[in-house]
Amino acid sequence: MTSRQPDRAPGADPERGFVVGVFPKGVDGETELAELRELARTAGVETIGEVVQHRARPDPRTFVGKGKLTELKDAYTTSDAEVLLVDEELSPTQQRSLEDALEARVVDRTQLILDIFAQHATSAEGKLQVELAQLEYNLPRMRGLWQHLERLGGGVGTRGPGESQLETDRRLARTRVSLVKRRLRGLSGQRATRRKERERTSVPTIALAGYTNVGKSTLLNGLTGADASVDDRLFETLDPTTRSFEHEGKRYLVTDTVGFIRRLPTQLVEGFAATLEETLVADLVLHVADASLPEDRLRETIDAVHAVLTEIGADDVPVELVLNKVDLLDPLAERRVAHAFPRALHVSAATGEGLDALRERISELFSDRFEDVRLLVPYEDGRYLAQLYGLGAPIAERRDTPEGVRVRARLPRREIPRFAQFLVAGETDGADADAEAFRG
């Protein structure tokens, strides 16, 4: 396997890439390769040429057929490209065959995505997740790295009790995989502790899920006033970012998760399980989609996200579809989208359009979680006031009286039994209507 080129200096010209794909007959190769070109752009590669072959399935040895391989070699050589990008995950045999035939670096779809993830990971957990995915991707491909040693195969100068270099590297890689998984489990445990604290306060949790680069981070910023990175490139967000917002006196937590993509590599689903589990434990998933896409492409990305949610076991979490970027649509296009997706909310995270309606929809979905109550807490039971504040400061009003502390609060329904002994009889409903009487 050809060694990797040194990293380019900041500001240098982008690397030149040539793309190749194999698709069944009737599939538009130009459209199919659009995502790979966008992945290449995100990775800092300029695509300068492409070859598409239509056949039922890729060749098990050379990926493209024998005749197309000759055409690919000629096109690649004359293009002055530096790397071949393949829109599929290659087997080790396919990768070696292409590298030998073209005498070039060959990077498949999974490797390209892993490279992007490596560039964007910033937290300790994100970097560990990327490392785990890369290790699991590279393990079955190590044989090609040490073919020259295996061919020695005995004779003068090769005998001895030591391990072969290939066996040594495999053992070290497996040891590192175990170590990384152990560290990720520890970080996952810390996150579980934080999550239990959130559950204790009964603050509703909302996960933003969606295809990569649909504006989830911009929506997080618009809803909560956060300052998450919103650069226009794929997989900009790898680490889950959680922020809060309040609406009508209630607090909500919103978590931005890693973006999805068609044919998300298995290594990434496994390696980023710790990140994706934020979707699993959410009370609500806001499925954010790009309304400015052509309708067939929009449906395709929505289906891809549903497939990943099902794969990670999050398909039983309530989902609300949010169509973002409606500011890019003309009135006719927006009516068409509204007809195609009648229940979806239309928003523009960039301009703020529709965000109030989105907050209102979220509030409606959680309206049965809280109840307005009035309590009379004797001074000797003051510890219960501390518990009330520990639930996320749900106290709307407080007044000290000779009998004790009178409180009007918005309590999570499941917490009402804990404070039942202090309820003012007959005043668990309609608190807002009687607020003036309470103040008096």
DSSP string, 232-273: SSTT---S-EEEEEEETTEEEEEEE-PPB-TT--HHHHHHTH
pTM of the full structure: 0.67
201-365 in CATH: which number? 3.40.50.300
Find residue 319's DSSP bridge partners: 285
pLDDT at residue 428, as a whole number? 45
Domain 370-439 is found in CATH 3.30.60: no
The winner for highest mean pLDDT among 123-137, 154-168, 226-240 is: 123-137
pLDDT at residue 83, as a whole number? 93
Residue of higher predicted confidence among 79 and 170: 79
Residue % of the chain over a pLDDT of 70: 76
User: Quick one: pLDDT band at residue 5, thresholds 50, 70, 90?
Assistant: very low
Give 281-329 pLDDT, tens digit per residue: 788 999 999 999 999 889 988 998 888 788 777 777 889 999 999 999 9
Stretch 39-68: mean pLDDT: 92
Give 238-283 pLDDT, tens digit per residue: 566 788 898 877 788 898 877 777 776 666 666 555 556 666 678 8
Tokens of 325: 């970027």
Contact between 275 and 298 under an 8 Å Cβ cutoff? The reply is: no
CA–CA separation, 286 and 275 (whole Å): 16
Contact between 233 and 41 under an 8 Å Cβ cutoff? The reply is: yes
| Fold classified for 15-117 | Rossmann fold (3.40.50)
Closest CA to 184 of 141, 115, 133, 235: 133
Find residue 3's DSSP bridge partners: none
pLDDT at residue 359, as a whole number? 94
Domain 201-365 matches domain 370-439 at the CATH topology level? no
Give 382-398 pLDDT, tens digit per residue: 888 888 877 765 677 88
Query: What order do you get walking across the sheet with 105-108 strand by strand?
Result: 45-54, 15-23, 83-86, 105-108
Closest CA to 87 of 120, 56, 53, 119: 53
Would you list the domain boundaries of the chain? 15-117, 201-365, 370-439
Look over the chain and give the mean of its residue pLDDT values, rounded to a whole number.
Answer: 79
Closest CA to 264 of 320, 298, 311: 311
